Amino acid sequence: MTQVIAVHSFRGGTGKSNLTANIAATMARQGKRVGIIDTDIQSPGIHVLFGLNEAKINYSLNDYLWERCNIKDAVHDVSYILTTGDTDVINGKLYLIPSSIKAGDIARVLREGYDVVRLNDGFQELSRCLNLDYLLIDTHPGLNEETLLSIGISNILVVILRPDSQDFQGTAVTIDVARKLKVPKMLLVVNKVLSAFDFADLQKQIETTYQASVAGILPLSEEMVQLGSKEIFCLRYPEHPINQTIIGIVEQIADAA
């Protein structure tokens, strides 16, 4: 059965899209069949990490939601990015369902919204027809109808936060909502933490505050800033220590599944 994993944060710019792409690429390199769906229809972005642009996106999630195509037509097989060396043999698969980057399409979503029931049907259909081990949902920050749906149907919710008082307060709201929606498993990831912090102490504090497990703490990384979402960090710098933390998060997702 496909495990549905929603990656969410109450506030924007916490690192959802980058973390989603890194988790998905790590899983696929380990041989899993992984899909990513970009439900951030108002401000899509994860396609950039996979080198997709408007010209390369044939059908998007928007086309499916507006009944212009089947969900399968909006699937982009991006498994080719997984190979980091000539001798690499990758058995996993990585698929991306991007949202439209066309201004008119974004304006239409803001004006008219869309049918969340059809979105949910799309999740089910994708899981089935691509025979996925994991379906990762990259979300829009904050709580709106589609993020509530994504949270509500997920087997595992990954909530990202930075060590920032605004994030702390917003995360409490997200966790409260997720508990009311009876999400089976919740994992926290703290991102952009200054290296000078005591990571073990921060983990203890956050776990005590939210009564939820911290799956990983990622440092604020100059290399990641420099990479600027042009590529997927774990594929660009496979030997970087940050990847051990990402592998740890993937292991905890697998354990929770």
Ligand X SMILES: Nc1ncnc2c1ncn2[C@@H]1O[C@H](COP(=O)(O)OP(=O)(O)OP(=O)(O)O)[C@@H](O)[C@H]1O
Q: Which of 8, 16, 33, 162 binds Mg ion (CB under 5 A)?
A: 16
Question: Which lies closer to Mg ion via its Cβ, residue 16 or residue 93?
Answer: 16
The residues of the shown chain that bind ligand X, judged by CB under 6 A, are 9, 12-18, 40, 43, 45, 141, 191-192, 218, 220-221, 224-225, 228-229
Q: Which stretch binds Mg ion (CB under 5 A): 8-16, 27-35, 105-113, 181-189?
A: 8-16
CB of 99 to Mg ion, least distance (A): 10
CB of 163 to Mg ion, least distance (A): 19
HEC per residue, the chain: CCEEEEEECCCCCCCHHHHHHHHHHHHHHCCCEEEEEECCCCCCCHHHHCCCCCCCCCCCHHHHHCCCCCHHHHCEECHHHHCCCCCCCCCCEEEEECCCCCHHHHHHHHHHCCCHHHHHHHHHHHHHHCCCCEEEEECCCCCCHHHHHHHHHCCEEEEEECCCHHHHHHHHHHHHHHHHCCCCEEEEEEEEECCCCCHHHHHHHHHHHHCCEEEEEEECCHHHHHHCCCCCHHHHCCCCCHHHHHHHHHHHHHHHC
CB of 18 to Mg ion, least distance (A): 8
Residues between 37 and 76 with contacts to Mg ion, criterion CB under 5 A:
45
SS3 178: helix
Binding mask 86-125 for Mg ion (x = CB under 5 A): ----------------------------------------
Interacting partner of 216 out of Mg ion, ligand X, none (Cβ under 5 to 8 A depending on kind): none
Q: What are phi and psi of 136, to 5 degrees?
A: -100, 135
Question: Which lies closer to Mg ion via its Cβ, residue 16 or residue 47?
Answer: 16
CB of 133 to ligand X, least distance (A): 23
Contact call for residue 17 and Mg ion (CB under 5 A): yes
**CB of 216 within 8 A of CB of 159?**
no
Question: Which lies closer to Mg ion via its Cβ, residue 42 or residue 169?
Answer: 42
Question: Which lies closer to Mg ion via its Cβ, residue 204 or residue 232?
Answer: 232
Hey, what are 213's tokens?
């497990």
Interacting partner of 151 out of Mg ion, ligand X, none (Cβ under 5 to 8 A depending on kind): none
Interacting partner of 229 out of ligand X, Mg ion, none (Cβ under 5 to 8 A depending on kind): ligand X
Residue with tokens 């909502």: 177
Question: Which lies closer to ligand X via its Cβ, residue 130 or residue 235?
Answer: 235
Q: How far apart are CA 99 and CA 102, in angstroms?
A: 9
Question: Which lies closer to ligand X via its Cβ, residue 28 or residue 224?
Answer: 224
Site residues for Mg ion per CB under 5 A: 16-17, 45
